Amino acid sequence: MKDAFGTPQSLLVLGGTSEIGLATARRLVARRTRTVWLAGRPSPGLEKAAAGLRELGADVRTVAFDALDSESHEAVLGKIFAEGDIDMVLLAFGILGDQARDEDEPLSAVRVAQTNYTGAVSAGLVCARSLQAQGHGALVVLSSVAGERARRTNFIYGSSKAGLDAFAQGLGDALHGTGVHVMVVRPGFVRSKMTAGLEEAPMATTPEAVAEAIETGLRRRSETVWVPGALRVVMSALRHVPRAVFRRLPV
């Protein structure tokens, strides 16, 4: 059960090796979280992540979960919820893809879209139903500023996040008044292994900073969280820049 500050006692991370997901889990375990489920494709990395959280004192369990296998979501996630209330679901899975290659190989572009969007739609809806039955809980969805306006340099990833973002906002409205809180998190460029080797964008942030923003958002029951917060202003300006100019911007 969450406390007055929205801090959960049990957490399910979908995308159990996500650096933002794990930074958030570490932060919440330091507060109130005792039970953590890490859902992801079975790998040594997933087990290592679980071990790291166990060292902090959490009761951690891993579960095999594949975002691309939508048909399995109902069964896999249903089993987790059957074990007890989940106070917070962090939808953290996602892949960046490789824009240049994805433009050449439509199938790999589709994989980006299916992971980030279709996978999230099915997992999000399955979790939403269980949370609604509980009468409480938070569904935190990791979106991205890349979804705010498509850019030449990463519009395949960006469009998948745009879809996810719109889906999560709508879901939040659908669940308004059910006790379930949907929070859309829009980080800017996050320094992590997913972005290793990429040129850093302005206002870059870290998984820890995103985790902190998530904790604050839970306390405030925010619906949208930008990380860093100033991105909200920047993006609302960029949204109105004419296409001809936007196309040429070095972002």
Partner 1 sequence: MATPETVSVSGWGRTAPSTARLIRPRSPEEAVAALEACGERGGIARGLGRAYGDAAQNAGGAVLDMTGMDRIHAIDADAGTVLCDAGVSLHHLMEVLLPLGWFVPVTPGTRYVTVGGAIGTDIHGKNHHGSGSFSRHVMAVELLTADGEVRAVESGTPLFDATAGGMGLTGVILAATLQLQPVETSLMTVDTERATDLDDLMARLTATDHRYRYSVAWIDLLARGASMGRAVLTRGDHAPLDALPPRARRDPLAFRPGRLPAAPDFLPEGLLGRKSVGLFNELWYRKAPRLRVGELQKMSTFFHPLDGVPHWNRVYGRGGFVQYQFVVGYGKEEALRRIVRRISDRGCPSFLAVLKRFGEGDPGWLSFPMPGWTLALDIPANLPGLGVFLDELDEEVAASDGRVYLAKDSRLRPEMLAAMYPRLDDFRALRADLDPRGLFRSDLSRRLAL
Q: Candidates 7, 62, 160, 205: give the one binding partner 1 (CB under 8 A).
A: 7
* Binding of partner 1 by 5 (CB under 8 A): yes
Taking CB under 8 A as the binding criterion, the range among 41-49, 74-82, 164-172, 213-221 that sits at the site for partner 1 is 213-221
Q: Candidates 45, 106, 135, 202: give the one binding partner 1 (CB under 8 A).
A: 135
The residue among 79 and 220 lying less far from partner 1, judged by its C-beta, is 220
* Binding of partner 1 by 220 (CB under 8 A): yes
The residue among 178 and 192 lying less far from partner 1, judged by its C-beta, is 178
SS (H, E, C) 166-219: HHHHHHHHHCCCCCEEEEEEEECCECCHHHCCCCCCCCCECHHHHHHHHHHHHH
Residues known to be catalytic: 157
* Binding of partner 1 by 179 (CB under 8 A): yes
**Contact code string over 57-96 relative to partner 1, x by CB under 8 A:** ----------------------------x-----------
Q: Which residues pair with 148 in a beta bridge?
A: none
Taking CB under 8 A as the binding criterion, the range among 131-139, 160-168, 230-238, 239-247 that sits at the site for partner 1 is 131-139
Q: Candidates 82, 100, 177, 243: give the one binding partner 1 (CB under 8 A).
A: 177
Query: In 3D, which of 93, 90, 125 has the Cα closest to residue 112?
Result: 93
H or E element at residue 157: helix 155-174
* Binding of partner 1 by 32 (CB under 8 A): yes
Q: Candidates 54, 129, 136, 232: give the one binding partner 1 (CB under 8 A).
A: 136
74: CB partners within 8 A, 6+ apart: 126
* Binding of partner 1 by 31 (CB under 8 A): yes
Residue 236 has which token pair?
């609302």
Total residues at interface with partner 1 (CB under 8 A): 22
Residue 33 CB, nearest distance to partner 1 (Å)? Answer: 11
Q: Round to the nearest angstrom and report the end-to-end CA distance of the chain.
A: 42
Query: In 3D, which of 151, 152, 181, 147 has the Cα closest to residue 165?
Result: 147
Distance CA 99, CA 41 (A): 24
| E-only strand ranges, the chain | 10-14, 35-40, 59-64, 88-91, 137-142, 180-187, 224-227
Distance CA 183, CA 181 (A): 6
* Binding of partner 1 by 6 (CB under 8 A): yes
* Binding of partner 1 by 27 (CB under 8 A): no
Residue 51 CB, nearest distance to partner 1 (Å)? Answer: 23
Rounded alpha-carbon distances, angstroms, from residue 162 to 35, 39, 116, 142, 156: 31, 24, 10, 11, 10
Using CB under 8 A, list all residues that contact partner 1. Answer: 1-7, 9, 31-32, 85, 133-136, 177-179, 216, 219-221
